[in-house]
Structure 1
Amino acid sequence: MSGLNPAISDWRGQRVWLFGASTGIGAALARDLARRGARLALSARSADKLAVLAGEIAAAGGVGAPAPLLLPCDAVNGDSLARAWAQLLDAWGGVDVAIYLAGDYTPMHADAIDMAVARRLIDVNLIGAIAFTALVAPQLKSQRSGQIALTASVAGYCGLPKSLIYGASKAALINFTETLYLDLSPSGVGVRVINPGFVATPLTAQNDFSMPALQTPEQAAAAIVAGFATGDFAIDFPKRFTRVMKLLAHLPYRLFFPLVSRFTGL
Structure 2
Amino acid sequence: MGQKIWIIGGSTGIGRELALQYAADGKDVVISARSEETLAEVAGIHPDRITALPIDVTDVPSISAAVETLYGDGAGPDIVILGAGAYQPMSVDHFSSEKAAKIMEVNYLGVVRVIEQVLPFYRKANAGHLVVLASVAGYQGLPLALAYGPSKAALINLSEGLRAEMAGSGISIQLVNPGFVKTPLTAGNKFPMPFLMEADDAARRIRKGIEGKSFEIAFPRRFAFILKFIRMLPYALSIPLIRKGTNQ
Range class of TM-score, shorter chain? over 0.9
> Which AA in structure 1 matches 2:4?
R
Alignment of 1:168-247 (within 5 A): 168-247=150-229
Corresponding residue of 2:51 = 69
1:151 to 120, 133, 141: 133
User: In structure 1, the residue corresponding to 2:46 is in which secondary structure?
Assistant: helix
Matched, 1:43 2:32: yes
- Give 1:144 deviation, angstroms: 1.3
1:263 alignment counterpart: 245
Higher relative contact order (CA 8 A, sep 6+): 1
TM-score (norm 2): 0.95
The residue number in structure 2 matching 1:62 is none
The separation in 2 between residues aligned to 1:70 and 1:90, in whole angstroms, is 17
Paired position in structure 2 for 1:105: 87
**Between 231-240 and 105-114, the greater mean CA deviation after superposition:** 105-114
Which digits, 9 at most, give the CA deviation of each residue in 1:223-255, with x for residues without a partner? 101101212101101112111111111111111
Hey, what's the Cα distance between the residues in 1 that align with 2:148 and 2:194?
18
Measured at CA, do residues 200 and 26 of structure 1 come closer, stay the same or move farther in structure 2, by a change above 3 Å?
same
CA offsets per residue over residues 128-173 of structure 1, 9 Å max, x none?
0100110111211211122101111000001011000110111011
3-state SS in 2 of match to 1:57:
coil
Q: In the alignment, does 2:107 pair up with 1:138?
A: no
**1:253 paired to 2:235:** yes
The Cα RMSD (Å) is 1.4
SS of residue paired to 1:187:
coil
Q: How far apart are 1:215 and its partner, in Å?
A: 0.7
Native 8 Å contact 1:95 1:140 kept in 2: no
2:197 alignment partner, SS class: coil
Structure 1, 134-143 or 157-166: larger mean CA deviation: 134-143
User: 1:118: how far off?
Assistant: 1.4
Which has the higher mean CA deviation after the structures are superposed, 73-82 or 176-185? Answer: 176-185
* Cα distance in 1, alignment partners of residues 37 and 111 from structure 2: 23
Q: Secondary structure at the match of 1:182?
A: helix
Runs of 4+ in structure 1 deviating by more than 3 angstroms, as ranges, are none
- Report if aligned partners of 2:136, 2:224 keep a CA contact under 8 Å in 1: yes
**Number of residue pairs matched by the alignment:** 247
Long gaps (5+) in structure 1: 1-12, 59-65
- When normalised by structure 1's length, the TM-score is 0.89
Residue among 19, 24, 40 paired with 1:30: 19
Amino acid at match of 1:38: K
**Where in structure 2 are there 5+ consecutive unaligned residues?**
none
Amino acid at match of 1:125: N
Code of the residue aligned with 2:152 in structure 1: it is K
Alpha-carbon shift at residue 90 of structure 1 (Å): 4.1
Match of 2:42 in 1: 53
- CA drift of 1:209 comes to 1.0
Native 8 Å contact 2:99 2:147 kept in 1: no
Q: What is the CA-CA distance between 1:35 and the residue it aligns to?
A: 1.4
Distance 1:179 1:102 in 2: 20
- Deviation of the 1:91 alpha carbon: 6.8
Aligned residue in 2 for 1:3: none
Structure 2 CA distance for aligned equivalents of residues 52 and 74 of structure 1: 18
Q: Identity of counterpart residues, as a percentage?
A: 40
Equivalents in 2 of 1:83, 1:118: separation in Å? Answer: 28
C-alpha displacement of 1:193: 0.8
Q: Distance in 1 between matches of 2:220 and 2:37?
A: 31
Q: Could you list the per-position Cα deviations for residues 84-106 of structure 1 after superposition, in whole angstroms to 9, with x for gaps in the alignment?
A: 11111247722210010011111
